[in-house]
Amino acid sequence: MTNIAFIGLGNMGGPMAANLIKSGHKVIAFDLVAASRNQAESDGAAIAESAVGSVKGADVVITMLPAGKHVLSVWDEVISSMSKGALIIDCSTIDVESAKKAHALAAKHGIASVDAPVSGGTGGAKGATLTFMCGGEDKAFAAAKPILEKMGKKIVHCGGAGAGQAAKICNNMILGISMIAVSEAFALAEKLGLSHQALFDVASTSSGQCWSLTSYCPVPGPVPTSPANNDYKPGFASALMVKDLTLAQDAAKAAGAATPLGKHAQEIYKAFDAEGNGGVDFSGIIRHVRGLR
């Protein structure tokens, strides 16, 4: 049994903390929101009065927060209260620069650290089937892996500090672009009088095959579990897709990489959000694509 402090008990962090408890770890949890603290308490967590209170005596500290500024502020607040030899893991999706700063802060205090953003959404958080993409030193990753395995099914060491975040935003840039590509193909097929099922049957077994088509099809019917069959309820909200595509653009700018399709995809999802669709699943982008002239 490991003593784990869990800070940030939202849509993802809440069920992730619950899975650590189910697997036999002792979790002391904190969130700014009382309802999230209460839910964690009913899942079996001990509740701390503050972030600092949660980390005292913990072997491992996990943060699952909205953005880089929250992570840097919480790590700054708690790091000097952590035990010597403890490990800190951030599972939030944040910008690469903030992730590197967070690692540097931990190193300054002699604390091992890992950036470990996730893929798999709230379903993966509940079912403990997340994929973790990790950045950090070998020793820190080796210590984090058995803990992450209680919340996920695939744990990948991508490289040094910030490499997990880099992998996450590159993956989600592929996802954002490919969902628009699949949506454009269905919108064109509709105009050409081709049925959804016919296009699916061909493309899913041909060179157009991709996850956005075969696992998350943006039209109802061919993949019964996709959000298209549930009025595009998330799933993965398009506001989060805008967030991730913006992180990708920031990273591309900082690194001097050309990502014109990533930039265009960011603009398309931003326009969709501006039409009041931030809470709609990102595959609902097909509605916007159909309206483009």
Contacts with ligand NAD, residue ranges (CB under 6 A) = 7-13, 30-33, 36, 51, 64-66, 70, 74, 92-93, 118, 121-122, 236, 240, 243
User: How many helical (H) and strand (E) elements, i.e. helices and strands, does the chain have?
Assistant: 13, 9
Instruction: Determine the residue with CB nearest ligand NAD.
Output: 10
Q: Find the shortest distance in angstroms from Cβ 268 to ligand NAD.
A: 19
Query: Strands, E, within the chain: which ranges?
Result: 3-7, 26-30, 46-47, 60-63, 87-90, 112-115, 118-119, 130-135, 152-159
Output 121 or 162, the one with its CB closest to ligand NAD: 121
Output 81 or 92, the one with its CB closest to ligand NAD: 92
Q: Find the shortest distance in angstroms from Cβ 285 to ligand NAD.
A: 16
Measured between alpha carbons, how far is residue 22 from residues 44, 57, 150 in Å? 9, 21, 9
Q: Find the shortest distance in angstroms from Cβ 6 to ligand NAD.
A: 10
Q: Find the shortest distance in angstroms from Cβ 43 to ligand NAD.
A: 14
Q: b/e per residue, 152-190, with b = 16+ CB within 10 A?
A: beebebbeebbbbbbbbbbbbbbbbbbbbbbbebbbebe
The DSSP letter of residue 208 is: T
Using the structure block, give the residue that is written with the tokens 């979790």. Answer: 27
Active site residues: 168
Output 33 or 292, the one with its CB closest to ligand NAD: 33
Q: Find the shortest distance in angstroms from Cβ 146 to ligand NAD.
A: 21
What single-letter amino acid sits at 155? I
Q: b/e per residue, 128-142, with b = 16+ CB within 10 A?
A: bebbbbbbbbeebbe
Output 90 or 203, the one with its CB closest to ligand NAD: 90
Output 166 or 187, the one with its CB closest to ligand NAD: 166
- Please state whether the peptide bond connecting residue 10 to the residue before it is cis, i.e. omega within 30 degrees of 0: no
Q: Is the dihedral of CA 123, 127, 131, 137 positive or negative?
A: positive
The alpha carbon of 132 is separated from its chain's Cα centroid by a whole number of angstroms, namely 9
